[in-house]
Amino acid sequence: MRPALTTVQFFALFAVVLCTLGFATSFVVDTTSARPDPVAFDTTVQRGITMADEQIARNQSISVPRAEVFYSQYQYVVGYVGLDQAVTALTEPGHEQQFGYPLAVYVSDYSDRPVRCGEDGSLRTAAPPDWVEANQAHYVVDGAARVPSGPAVVPFADRDDAAAFADTCGGRIIDWEALKTRSFDLEQATAVREQVGPRRSEADAAVETARQRRTRPVSVEVGTDAPTVQAAVDAAPPNTTVVVPAGTYDEQVTIDKPLTLSGPRATLDGGGNSTVVTVTADRVGVTGFEIVGVGNATVSDPTKADDSAWDATVTTAYGNSDAAVTGRNASGLYVANLTVETPASGVVLRRASGAVVENVTVNGTADWQDGFMGVIGMHGSIVVQDSAFNGGRDGVYLHRADGTAVRNNTFRDNRFGVHLMYTSRSLVADNVARGQEYAGVVVMTNPVANTIVGNDVRHAGSGVMLAGSQSYIAHNVVVDTTQAMSTNADRSLYEHNVIYGNDIGVRASTVVPSNIVTANDFIANDRHAVSGPGPLRVYTHDGRGNYWSGAYDLTGGAGSALTQSYSPTDSVDRRLHQTDAAIVLRSAPSVRGLRALRGTTPGFRRGSIVDRAPLADPANPETVRRVRNETSTEGGS
């Protein structure tokens, strides 16, 4: 029950509203000023390219055409890396309502520059391009020129220069109006939603293939046919199984042929020095062991990078950790039914596409700063499922592991449960995370098209922290965190999440908001939502908003949606679920007038969120009922 209304509370809230009214009038944009000039691109709010593609472009000296847009109702200049990104943004429904109309649009000008497309099609130029107004440029499309993300649209101020480039690199010339009518193949979050099922199926297929390692015929048994595990591996023919009977074996093992090492109830003890099992061949299986005595080396010397790729330092430093099992350049590795005690990592996979880790328990260090990762996956898609990761730094750490599936795992007392770096098009599903110091799931370095679905994060620093673009975040439960979710992603879809009992429900942190947030339940949070700088964020899609505990209808309207909008960042609305004073003040004429203006003016009020069709009842009632019961039980235990 809310505290009773007091005179002090009422006038304190009323003072806040008066200040808000005065503050709102200071954001009038002068649209009669002269056309703005281009600015340095690194001073813009940038959108469009993944950080992996950006690193590749820089490392290989690839030039990526860009655009700058000045908006009538937006205080920042928005920079788009890739003209397909700019055109897609400018033609999005509702874009002008949020930002106002474009005052000026500039694009890269490759005229008067020695520009070429190399043997691989990569666009390169000896000097950085200048700027030209978008409607004055000539665009070469459908040619051989490419940037890391795909085909390039190359603009020129001079049509003869565009024609000369097309003669060399192929393609045809179109103008700005024609370019805006083109449909670019950019994955949108609603399309990514349709990928959840296929990605589950792809993971199922990878698991089924890897499980074939379990049915190989037995060729060698340690103790009967060979004195040591390594001797048995050396003696076994390819595509067979080496059986290790129960007992403790003090040795480190290298597997350099396709075979299965099976040790039900056997223990491998590495003596605390280096990695215990090293795999260098394809189609290897390691199953049924307890592995102890892992070395304690985590990050190796980054100056000793073993290749010249842009991420060589990261790969060398992170991918050379001591581990129970390490697979390098080894596809189709199957690691299952292990129990690992490690001061470093559990399983390290580098260029091990098709690897499957399942039914593994990794017990890391009590203090995450002393340990490392449960599973490290680099440069290849893997599946990690039905496993438990206790302590250590990160449960699963991925680096350039596009297409990976991390599902049905339990993470406890880590720094991060799941940590994605430069990793796109992955599935993070149905995991349980508890007690993470920083976050249950975190996605960094601006990847694209990730699916974060069905995860349950509680009693952690944060819940789901997402960067990048065109991702799908749905059916997650986040309870009792400092911050349940962030919408630092771009063009992503957040739906059917239950955000319950957190300090902050969601933090809207993108400066250029473009996400869909609908059919989520925000219940009993200290603050349902907070917002950073930017235009008005509308958390309603196709007439459907979200459920906010405390929101109600002054008019007494009935139905699935309330007739009045709700703003979780409003100085009054955000207190509706906490104090009756807010309920009384909300009906004041001045407050109601401000709310009406806020809902119709593009770019109005810094740092605001509004739901124009808040739900009268939870969108996910069964999940909410379960969470309430569970939190009630936890509180009484």
**pLDDT for 635:** 65
Mean pLDDT of the chain, nearest integer: 89
Q: Output the pTM of the full model.
A: 0.88
Residue 557 pLDDT more than 60?
A: no
Considering the domain boundaries, does residue 414 fall inside one? no
- Provide the 3-class DSSP secondary structure of residue 464: strand
* Cα 141 to Cα 53, 54, 83, 144, 176, distances in angstroms: 20, 21, 11, 9, 12
Considering the domain boundaries, does residue 177 fall inside one? yes
**pLDDT for 19:** 37
The lowest-confidence range among 185-199, 291-305, 369-383 is 185-199
| Chain segment 604-625, per-residue pLDDT in tens | 444 689 999 999 999 999 999 9
Average pLDDT on 378-382 reads: 98
Considering the domain boundaries, does residue 525 fall inside one? no
**pLDDT for 75:** 83
Considering the domain boundaries, does residue 171 fall inside one? yes
**pLDDT for 28:** 33
| Chain segment 263-278, per-residue pLDDT in tens | 989 999 999 999 999 9
| Residue-range definition of the domain harbouring residue 170 | 41-186
Considering the domain boundaries, does residue 194 fall inside one? no
Residue 552 pLDDT more than 90?
A: no
Considering the domain boundaries, does residue 578 fall inside one? no
- Provide the 3-class DSSP secondary structure of residue 472: strand
| Chain segment 496-519, per-residue pLDDT in tens | 999 999 999 999 987 778 899 999
**pLDDT for 573:** 78
Max CA distance (Å), the chain: 90
**pLDDT for 597:** 53
Residue 7 pLDDT more than 50?
A: no
Residue 24 pLDDT more than 50?
A: no
Q: Give the total number of structural domains in the chain.
A: 1
Considering the domain boundaries, does residue 181 fall inside one? yes
Which of 78-87, 570-579, 589-598 has the largest mean confidence? Answer: 78-87
Considering the domain boundaries, does residue 167 fall inside one? yes
Residue 564 pLDDT more than 60?
A: yes
DSSP string, 97-133: HHH--EEEEEEEE-TTS-EEE-TT-BEEESS--EEEE
DSSP string, 488-557: EEES-EEES-EEES-SEEEEE--SS---EEES-EEES-SEEEEE-SSS-EE--BTTB--EETT---TT--
Residue 74 pLDDT more than 90?
A: no
Residue 543 pLDDT more than 70?
A: yes
User: 589 or 224: which carries more pLDDT confidence?
Assistant: 224
**pLDDT for 575:** 74
**pLDDT for 589:** 57
Instruction: pLDDT band for 571, please (50, 70, 90 cuts).
Output: confident
